[in-house]
Structure 1
Amino acid sequence: MTSDMVITLLSESLKMAILIASPMLLSGLAIGLIVSIFQSVTQIQEMTLTFIPKILSVVGAVIIFSPWMLQKLVAFTVNLFSNLHAYIGR
């Protein structure tokens, strides 16, 4: 296994991790922004007000996007195992 293969494999793994995490992160970011704007407009400065909507949005994103995330992870794993002989090379 050459250093180029290791770098490529690491790069693809990191891209996959970012791709899988992005729906949850983006939904939490969007809801956090909306709640923050609501708090600044109404001048309600309750710290716990931001947590429940963010948690619900992240759980909703997991429920909605879990088939897509699972499909991506399975495809990546199948590709990894099917090319295992190239990684082990002598």
Structure 2
Amino acid sequence: MTPELALTELRLGLQVALWVGGPLLMTVLVVGVVVGVVQAATQLNEPTIAFIAKAAALTAALFALGSFLLIYLVDYTVTLFQRIPHLIG
């Protein structure tokens, strides 16, 4: 395995991690900012509210995007397993 091939595989793995984790992290980030602004405007600073809102948003995002993300991850894994002979020799 050449260094270029190893870096290419590493780059592809990181891209898959970003595609799978990115939408979920962005959902939690947006909900956190919105809840933070609402809490600052109402002066209701309770950490439980932010946690419950983020957990609910993450659950909703997983229900909405879970099948797409799983298919993307399985496709990458199958493709990686099919490339193993090329990677070894």
State the TM-score, normalized to the length of structure 2.
0.94
Task: Please report how far the alpha carbon of residue 83 of structure 1 lies from its aligned counterpart in structure 2 after TM superposition.
Answer: 1.2
The runs of 5 or more residues in structure 2 that have no matched partner are none
Number of the residue aligned with 1:61 = 61
Task: Please report how far the alpha carbon of residue 33 of structure 1 lies from its aligned counterpart in structure 2 after TM superposition.
Answer: 0.9
Number of the residue aligned with 1:82 = 82
The runs of 5 or more residues in structure 1 that have no matched partner are none
CA-based RMSD of the aligned residues comes to 0.9
Number of the residue aligned with 2:19 = 19
Number of residue pairs the alignment of both structures matches: 89
CA distance in 1, matches of 2:46, 2:81: 49
After TM superposition, the runs of 4+ consecutive aligned structure 1 residues lying more than 4 A away are none
CA distance in 1, matches of 2:15, 2:37: 31
State the TM-score, normalized to the length of structure 1.
0.93
CA distance in 2, matches of 1:47, 1:18: 28
